[in-house]
Amino acid sequence: MYTGEKFAVKRLHRLLMPWRNTLYGVWEKPLLYLRRPYYLNIYFNTHFCITKIQTNQKHLNALYKKGAIPKTLYRILDSEIHTSLLILFYHLKYVYPEKLDFIHLHLNSSYLRAYGYLKVISSGKKYCFKLKIHSFYHSEGLLDLYQKVPLHKRKIAYRLYGKIHQIPFRNQVKIAGILKSYLYSKSVIYEVFQQVIGVPPSHVWLDRRLLSFLLHLLQTEESITSSYSQFGFSSTSHLHRYFRKVFAISPLTFREKYGQK
């Protein structure tokens, strides 16, 4: 190559360098946008039992197809951030129904953070957390601790979970009485329940009563003083104390604010 040609090539490189950077930036962004974002749709009922999952995240999808996903929302919610599943449900359903919020799922050694909102499929029956996954850490360890719980212990926990949702509000049977029909001690069953479900049985029982009463407030005009006992509360003060503790609002104010106009 002649000396003059070398200088010409160098000059051409200098001229193209800014354009190359610009073109690279232009082409780089569309390639990122072509990457399909992960989503996760969790369908559940008023018992917070998961009825269906839809996702394009391959690890989650593979586990769901194998039937290896927990059957309740309690197990996968990050309890350190969402102190109560019922509080999260209440905020997304009533307080901020149009607002996208961060929902955090704690999947043992894995962790998922997603933008999400609550979609009502059938009022009082079926709902869906519509999540757009923002970040996913340690997907290779997804639900590993849950998988290590033996199948027979998982069956025990889900059986008890189902029975808690069958306890009548009036003439209620205490959970301790239900445990007499199990072969294991009370301490062992409570430990298994915590491992599989994620919360103690008493937590599930209280959430069930509060959510049922919440729906009752919206669907009827019955006075609180004549209805508290229908949901297993010993007095109106007993009901008000738990209601305010969870929802930070009184039952009457809730009815006035969110009831049918």
Q: In what order do the strands lie in the sheet with 39-45?
A: 50-55, 39-45, 126-137, 110-122, 101-107
Instruction: List, by residue range, all CATH 3.30.450.20 domains of the chain.
Output: 39-146
One-letter identity of residue 201: P
- Return the pLDDT at 79: 86
The yes/no answer on whether domain 149-258 falls in CATH 1.10.10.60 is: yes
pLDDT (tens digit per residue) in 122-170: 988 999 999 999 988 887 777 888 888 999 999 999 999 999 999 888 7
- Give, for all 261 residues of the chain, the pLDDT tens digit: 444 555 554 554 555 555 444 444 444 444 444 456 899 999 999 999 999 999 998 888 988 998 889 999 999 999 889 989 999 999 999 988 888 889 999 887 788 999 999 999 998 899 999 999 998 888 777 788 888 899 999 999 999 999 999 988 877 778 888 888 888 888 899 999 999 999 999 999 999 999 999 999 988 888 888 888 888 888 889 899 999 999 999 999 999 988 765
C-alpha 206/C-alpha 71 separation (Å) is: 19
Close Cβ partners of 192 (under 8 Å, ≥ 6 residues apart): 149, 153, 156, 157, 184
C-alpha 153/C-alpha 174 separation (Å) is: 21
Question: What global pTM score does this model have?
Answer: 0.81
Instruction: List, by residue range, all CATH 1.10.10.60 domains of the chain.
Output: 149-258
Give me the helices (H) in 119-173, please. Answer: 144-148, 151-164
The conformation of residue 248, written as its DSSP 8-state character, comes to S
- Return the pLDDT at 39: 93
C-alpha 244/C-alpha 239 separation (Å) is: 9
- Return the pLDDT at 186: 86
- Mean of the per-residue pLDDT values of the chain: 84
- Return the pLDDT at 138: 81
Query: What is the CATH T-level fold of the domain 39-146, as seen in this structure?
Result: Beta-Lactamase (3.30.450)
C-alpha 121/C-alpha 114 separation (Å) is: 20
